[in-house]
């Protein structure tokens, strides 16, 4: 198979990591060819005398893995360990984790039977079934592949994988031309209210969402909006429940595209499911409404629109849904994501822009991009990223400008109000802001500098000044006068008053010798030449 440049890079990085570590992870978006990559890694491992186990949790994933490994190495023997199918002495075993983790099946295999275990859709690896299999093959190297290493339930993958060998985001591959860009459109649905929906394992509960969608008129509004906005594209719809899926498909069928909608769920017969996917892929069906079936192991590049009628707090789930529509296809310029938004929600829901933001962007930039996405819900996502990056850079310049003014006013480092670059340097308005700003000005900070402090900086400085006051230490004005003369600014307010009187008697021009020699005012070696951090409020 001819490999893309990033696929070759991923293979080299993964093999390099596994030379020194037992386990590592490759993070690539849907449509990037993860199966092609691990098929080639399997071929190379076997060429060196190894034996490979590929673990997955769905029949479609097992089928894809077997096909890609055979394409990478036609001479290799590939066998299946699933249900009634039992693998023998093949060099590559493709196994269903639901089958293999059971004690009788696992006991058939020696602990050293495999040199490498490849885990497809590795974000599921925290499950006991996976852990049981990996613990059994204790001598094997472990290589995981996923598009979404983050999980809504907060369970991390660090317990299994020692490192991330290689990662590319959806944005990376869009810019390289291997995926189509996404364009987002928020569709607000009257009557769709999720304020009372419970949170289960970090996400909105399916049952509660179904009840919210079952409210009178809600599904009718969604069907009408779908027919209005899909623009003739082949549209994959995600919903939270079986009844909802079939009801929505029936409503879509009653529209102008009569006979153009079909629904699938976990109870759909395997052969019927395959047929419905095939009809959708060749355009014979305009809408495919599904319940958690098309999130993994489904290759439908014709899909040009993804409708999210299952609001979620899980970036992992959202990326899996959106990823179904980003594969390349003739005359397909982008993937339209229709995000059906509830009227109100007390929780932060994932939106289309979140799917594009990878780890190559820092948190400050991500925050600026998300703000723009809320302000301009129908804007081009690539343009949002460009404009959001520019907004974040302007904020950085403002923060650095404020720091420069602080340093010019206080070159001796008596105060330091740094702020991490990934915090939003927000300057709000209101009574609390005015009161705290006046407080630091009275303490001695120039008004122009105080007004330029971010909310976080201002709060931190007020806390520090109040802490000094409770400790009986001298004021900021007194501390600054002492530091300018290389005297200790950490003295009590009474001692500082004595020093101020002595300086005033000297006309503020010279420092009396007794002040320089008095132990109370002498700097120690630990204080350094400048009193950096004497008022450290970071």
CA angle 327/14/320 to nearest 5° reads 30
Q: Measuring CA to CA, which residue among 23, 86, 80 is closest to residue 54? A: 80
> Same domain, yes or no, for 149 and 236?
no
H or E segment and range at residue 439: helix 431-443
> Same domain, yes or no, for 154 and 267?
no
Asked if residues 327 and 335 have their Cβ atoms less than 8 Å apart, the reply is: no
Asked if residues 6 and 176 have their Cβ atoms less than 8 Å apart, the reply is: yes
Q: In what order do the strands lie in the sheet with 78-81?
A: 78-81, 92-96, 52-56, 116-119, 141-146, 23-27, 164-167
Q: What is the pLDDT of residue 414?
A: 63
- In terms of residues, how long is the chain? 538
What phi and psi, each to the nearest 5 degrees, are found at residue 514? -65, -30
Q: What is the pLDDT of residue 484?
A: 82
Instruction: Say if strands 23-27 and 92-96 run parallel, antiparallel, or are unpaired.
Output: unpaired
> Same domain, yes or no, for 131 and 181?
no
Q: Determine, yes or no, domain membership for 160.
A: yes
Return the SS3 of 511: coil
Q: Determine, yes or no, domain membership for 298.
A: yes
Q: Which of 144, 168, 192 is the last residue of a domain?
A: 168
Q: Measuring CA to CA, which residue among 194, 189, 309 is closest to residue 245? A: 309
Q: Determine, yes or no, domain membership for 395.
A: no
H or E segment and range at residue 290: strand 287-290
Instruction: Output the CA–CA distances (angstroms, integers) from residue 195 to 174, 200, 236, 240, in the order listed.
Output: 35, 14, 26, 16
CA distance 462 to 439: 7
> Same domain, yes or no, for 418 and 338?
no
CA distance 59 to 77: 19
Instruction: Output the CA–CA distances (angstroms, integers) from residue 512 to 105, 153, 484, 504, 508, in the order listed.
Output: 88, 65, 14, 10, 10
CA distance 352 to 377: 10
> Same domain, yes or no, for 217 and 89?
no
Buried b or exposed e, range 506-515, using 16+ CB within 10 angstroms: eeeeebeeeb
> Same domain, yes or no, for 356 and 425?
no
Q: Determine, yes or no, domain membership for 147.
A: yes
Q: Average pLDDT, whole number, for the chain?
A: 86
CB atoms within 10 A of CB 1: 13
Instruction: Output the CA–CA distances (angstroms, integers) from residue 73 to 7, 44, 47, 76, 340, in the order listed.
Output: 17, 10, 10, 6, 44
CA angle 79/83/89 to nearest 5° reads 25
394-434 residue pLDDT tens: 877 766 666 666 666 666 566 655 554 444 467 777 788 88
Q: Determine, yes or no, domain membership for 258.
A: yes
**Which residue range forms the structural domain that includes residue 503?**
407-536
Which residue has better confidence, 119 or 347?
119
Q: Measuring CA to CA, which residue among 300, 258, 264, 307 is closest to residue 283? A: 300
Over residues 231-250, the mean pLDDT reads 95
Helices (H), 285-430: 315-323, 352-356, 363-375, 381-409
CA angle 339/344/346 to nearest 5° reads 105
CATH code for the domain of 21: 3.40.50.300
> Same domain, yes or no, for 197 and 233?
yes
Distance of CA 380 to the CA centre of its chain: 20
Q: Which of 151, 168, 185 is the last residue of a domain?
A: 168
CA distance 378 to 385: 13
Over residues 126-134, the mean pLDDT reads 94
Q: Which of 344, 360, 376 is the last residue of a domain?
A: 360
Percent of the chain whose predicted confidence (pLDDT) is above 90: 48
329-352 residue pLDDT tens: 999 999 999 999 887 776 778 888
Return the SS3 of 357: coil
CA distance 265 to 491: 72
Q: Determine, yes or no, domain membership for 295.
A: yes
CA dihedral 431, 434, 435, 441 (to 10 degrees): 180
Over residues 245-253, the mean pLDDT reads 94
Strands (E), 110-156: 116-119, 141-146
> Same domain, yes or no, for 140 and 189?
no
Q: What is the pLDDT of residue 409?
A: 62
Q: What is the pLDDT of residue 254?
A: 84
Return the SS3 of 503: helix
CA distance 181 to 178: 10
Q: Going by C-beta distance under 8 Å and a sequence separation of 6 or more, which residues neighbour residue 28?
A: 6, 10, 34, 37, 145, 147, 166, 167, 168, 173
> Same domain, yes or no, for 149 and 200?
no
> Same domain, yes or no, for 443 and 350?
no
Q: Determine, yes or no, domain membership for 385.
A: no
Helices (H), 177-241: 206-213, 218-229
176-192 residue pLDDT tens: 999 999 888 889 898 99
Please state which of the ranges 95-109, 194-208, 250-264 shows the lowest mean pLDDT. Answer: 250-264
> Same domain, yes or no, for 347 and 416?
no
Count of the separate structural domains present in the chain: 3
Q: Determine, yes or no, domain membership for 28.
A: yes
Burial of 358 (0-12, 13-18, 19+ CB in 10 A): middle
Q: What is the pLDDT of residue 527?
A: 47
134 falls in which pLDDT band (50, 70, 90)?
Answer: very high
CA distance 63 to 441: 69
154 falls in which pLDDT band (50, 70, 90)?
Answer: low
Q: What is the pLDDT of residue 153?
A: 54
> Same domain, yes or no, for 142 and 209?
no
């Amino acid at each position: 198979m001819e490999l893309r440049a990033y696929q070759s890079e991923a293979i080299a990085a993964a093999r390099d990591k596994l030379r020194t570590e037992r386990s590592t992870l490759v993070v690539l978006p849907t449509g990037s060819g993860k199966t092609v990559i691990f098929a080639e890694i399997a071929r190379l491992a076997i060429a060196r005398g190894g034996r490979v186990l590929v673990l997955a949790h769905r029949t479609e994933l097992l089928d894809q893995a077997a096909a890609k490994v055979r394409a990478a190495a036609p001479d290799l023997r590939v066998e299946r360990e699933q249900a009634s199918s039992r693998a023998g002495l093949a060099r590559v075993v493709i196994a269903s984790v639901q089958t293999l983790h059971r004690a009788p099946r696992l006991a058939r295999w020696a602990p050293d039977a495999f040199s490498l275990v490849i885990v497809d859709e590795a974000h599921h690896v925290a499950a006991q079934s996976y852990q049981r299999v990996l613990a059994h093959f204790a001598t094997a190297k472990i290589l995981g592949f996923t598009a979404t290493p983050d999980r809504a339930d907060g369970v991390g993958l660090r317990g299994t994988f020692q490192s991330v060998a290689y990662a590319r985001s959806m944005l990376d591959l869009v810019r390289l031309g291997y995926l189509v860009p996404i364009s987002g459109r928020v569709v607000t649905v009257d009557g769709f209210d999720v304020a009372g929906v419970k949170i289960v394992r970090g996400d909105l509960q399916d049952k509660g969402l179904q009840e919210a969608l079952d409210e009178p008129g809600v599904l009718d509004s969604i069907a009408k909006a779908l027919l209005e906005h899909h623009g003739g594209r082949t549209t994959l719809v995600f919903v939270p429940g079986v009844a909802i899926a079939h009801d929505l498909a029936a409503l879509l069928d009653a529209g102008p595209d009569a006979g153009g909608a079909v629904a699938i769920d976990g109870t759909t017969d395997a052969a019927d499911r395959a047929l419905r996917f095939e009809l959708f892929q060749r355009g014979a069906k305009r809408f495919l409404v599904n319940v958690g079936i098309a999130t993994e192991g489904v290759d439908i590049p014709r899909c040009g629109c993804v409708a999210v009628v299952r609001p979620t707090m899980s970036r992992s789930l959202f990326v899996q849904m959106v990823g179904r529509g980003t594969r390349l296809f003739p005359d397909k310029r982008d993937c339209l994501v229709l995000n059906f938004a509830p009227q109100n929600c007390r929780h932060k829901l994932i939106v289309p822009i979140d799917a594009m933001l990878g780890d190559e962007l820092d948190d400050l930039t991500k925050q600026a991009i998300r703000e723009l996405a809320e302000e301009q819900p129908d804007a081009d996502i690539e343009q949002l990223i460009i404009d959001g990056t520019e907004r974040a850079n302007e904020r950085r310049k403002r923060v650095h400008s404020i720091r420069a003014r602080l340093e010019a006013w206080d070159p001796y480092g008596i105060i330091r109000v740094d702020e991490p670059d990934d915090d939003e340097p927000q300057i709000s308005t209101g009574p609390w802001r005015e009161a705290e700003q006046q407080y630091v000005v009275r303490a001695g900070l120039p008004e122009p500098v105080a007004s330029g402090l971010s909310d976080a900086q201002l709060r931190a400085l007020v806390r520090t000044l109040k802490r000094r006051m409770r400790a009986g230490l001298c004021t900021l004005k007194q501390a600054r006068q002492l530091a300018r003369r290389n005297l200790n600014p950490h003295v009590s307010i009474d001692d500082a008053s004595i020093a101020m009187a002595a300086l005033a008697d000297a006309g503020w021009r010279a420092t009396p010798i007794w002040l320089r020699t008095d132990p109370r005012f002498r700097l120690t070696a630990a204080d350094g030449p400048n009193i950096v951090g004497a008022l450290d409020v970071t």
